[in-house]
Amino acid sequence: MKVQLEVAENDDISVCEVKDLQLRMNKNGNISELKSLVLAMTDALQRLHCAKLRRKFSGITSAKRLNMKSFTQELNDFLNCPYKPNKTKQELNRMRLQYCCNATGSLYFTKRNTAVNQTIPYETSIDFPWSGRRLGRCAVVGSGGILKNSSCGREIDSADYVIRFNLAYVNDSDVGLKTDLITINPTQIQREFKNLKKNPDPLVKRVSVYGNASLAMPAFAYTFCTALSVSVLKVLHPVRPQQPVVFFNPTYLRTLDRFWKSRGLKEVRLSSGFILISTALELCENVHVYGFWPFGNDLQDNPVPYHYYDQLSPHRYMHAMPEEFVRLLQLHSKGALTLHLQPCSSDNF
């Protein structure tokens, strides 16, 4: 039996291992040993394939001109490879983000990080809930339609800290129920909760679903955001004091924007999802990302809605979602975070 292989010389499995197996297969006539050698060769080639894909996705720099058919096929293969966490990369990203942006102390306004005589005329938290400690396993749950029928709820709820966005609806099967921090977009208040001062009950009922989770708002992103954010604070603070409304610190957002622009991510404004993934990379021991998939079809080429809970289209001018996704894929490939794009397995529990 003659076996011929082409092996790249710099792959991160032993080239000698593959060549040795090839030589032994060519010389061996024993059927049972040959079967063992075939299995060993198959395993070695699979590791070789995974190593090539890992290098390829680690070096991807842009979503432009992606061939989606080959991209999704290779990505599907790569996600079936064993994940390799890299503590060195995790700590390096943490140090870079803390040095440049410092979510640890300035993600949103608090009494501790607001200077004397600095005018912030609203109720603010005394300090951060994570003050003095590092969060453990964090789940950052985007709202992508790829989460629909994913059965990821139990896995998400097992995290130490769960971040969600834009008052996304929760369920125990696909996205879980646990929430520690959730964002509110001021445009949601305009669109879904009109006459908030006269009729606060719909908003109070909506946020109560998230228990004692902090409600984060970009109060200073645009002029119109400030009044809306303050009105949410004034409505919710008296009736749900256990559920703080917090305002993102614009200084943190600006420095984070510069951080990613210096690394080639050019867009009008970072999405709230990408902002809080960056935050999690600084604050958490391990970051698991769910529901971030900016394309219209999944890895099996089935159409997926933009959100798992509605049929809205993305605002393409504001956020370069495919470009953000490429950065997440880079981080996953380097072992800095775990990107979940397939249905979750019950075997983990």
The most confident of the ranges 129-138, 307-316, 336-345 is 336-345
108-147 pLDDT, tens digit each: 877 665 555 555 544 445 445 555 678 899 999 999 999 9
Check whether residue 193 and residue 48 sit in a common domain: no
Separation of alpha carbons 321 and 127, rounded Å? 32
Q: Would 47 be classed as within a structural domain? A: yes
Model confidence over 21-43: pLDDT tens digits? 555 555 555 556 656 666 766 77
**Does 225 reside within a domain?**
yes
Query: Could you tell me if 98 and 160 lie in one domain?
Result: yes
Q: Which two tokens stand for residue 270?
A: 């970072």
Give residue 321's pLDDT band: very low, low, confident or very high (50, 70, 90).
confident
- What backbone phi and psi angles, to 5 degrees, belong to 313? -95, 155
Beta strand pairing status for 181-183 and 161-164?
Answer: parallel
> How far is it, in rounded angstroms, from Cα 320 to Cα 323?
5
Lowest mean pLDDT segment, chosen from 41-55, 160-174, 205-219 = 41-55
| pLDDT above 90: percentage of residues in the chain | 63
Same domain for 204 and 173, yes or no, is yes
**pLDDT at 329 exceeding the cut of 80:** yes
Same domain, 233 and 121: yes
Q: pLDDT-derived band of residue 76, with 50, 70 and 90 as boundaries?
A: very high
The mean pLDDT of 321-337, rounded to a whole number, is 95
pLDDT for the residue numbered 267? 76
Catalytic-labelled residue, pool 288, 307, 319, 332:
319
Please give the pLDDT value at position 317.
45
> Could you say which of 76, 95, 115 is where a domain stops?
76
Question: How many domains are contained in the chain?
Answer: 2
pLDDT confidence of 213, banded at 50, 70, 90?
A: very high
pLDDT surpasses 60 at 203: yes
pLDDT at 79 over 60: yes
Active site residue 319: yes
Which residue among 76, 99, 123 closes a domain? 76
How far apart (Å, rounded) are the C-alpha atoms in residues 267 and 315? 12
* Of the listed ranges 15-19, 219-223, 232-236, 246-250, the one predicted with least confidence: 15-19
Asked if 34 and 179 sit in the same domain, the reply is: no
**Same domain for 208 and 304?**
yes
What is the predicted pLDDT for the residue at 105? 87
7 pLDDT band, cuts 50/70/90, is: very low
Q: Of 41, 76, 111, which residue sits at a domain end?
A: 76
Domain of 248 in residue numbering reads as 86-348
pTM: predicted TM-score of the whole model, two decimal places:
0.85
- What is the predicted pLDDT for the residue at 2? 41
| Cα maximum dimension of the chain | 86
Phi and psi (nearest 5°) for 64? -70, 140
Specify whether 209 is located in the same domain as 245. Answer: yes
